[in-house]
């Protein structure tokens, strides 16, 4: 689900920093997909996704492992 109108922990993708390596989409396959250029998108569109509780740990790993520091948890 997108972050609009929902409260909770959200993962934000900063597309200006991202170079489409795909580490985050591999760690969060149920949450993120890749566009035709390899950049991550929230499965339901956009650059921010509200995280389900079971995705919080994998999202933290994705933030830590992102080579371009393009992810942020809010």
User: What pairs with residue 11 in β-bridges?
Assistant: 49, 73
Tokens of 2: 């997108």
Identify the three-state secondary structure at position 68. Answer: coil
CA R_g for the chain: 11
pLDDT value of residue 4: 43
pLDDT tens over the chain, length 74 residues: 444 444 679 999 999 999 999 999 999 999 999 999 999 999 988 899 999 888 999 999 999 999 999 999 99
Query: Domain ranges in the chain?
Result: 10-69
pLDDT value of residue 54: 84
Contact 13, 23 (CB under 8 A): no
Architecture of domain 10-69: 2-Layer Sandwich (3.30)
């Amino acid at each position: 689900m997108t972050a609009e109108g929902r409260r909770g922990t959200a993962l934000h993708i900063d597309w200006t920093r991202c170079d489409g390596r795909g580490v985050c989409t591999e760690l969060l396959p149920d949450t993120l997909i890749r566009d035709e250029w390899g950049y991550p998108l929230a499965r339901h569109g956009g650059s921010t996704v509200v995280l389900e509780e079971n995705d919080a740990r994998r999202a933290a790993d994705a933030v830590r492992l992102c080579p371009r520091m393009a992810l942020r948890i809010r």
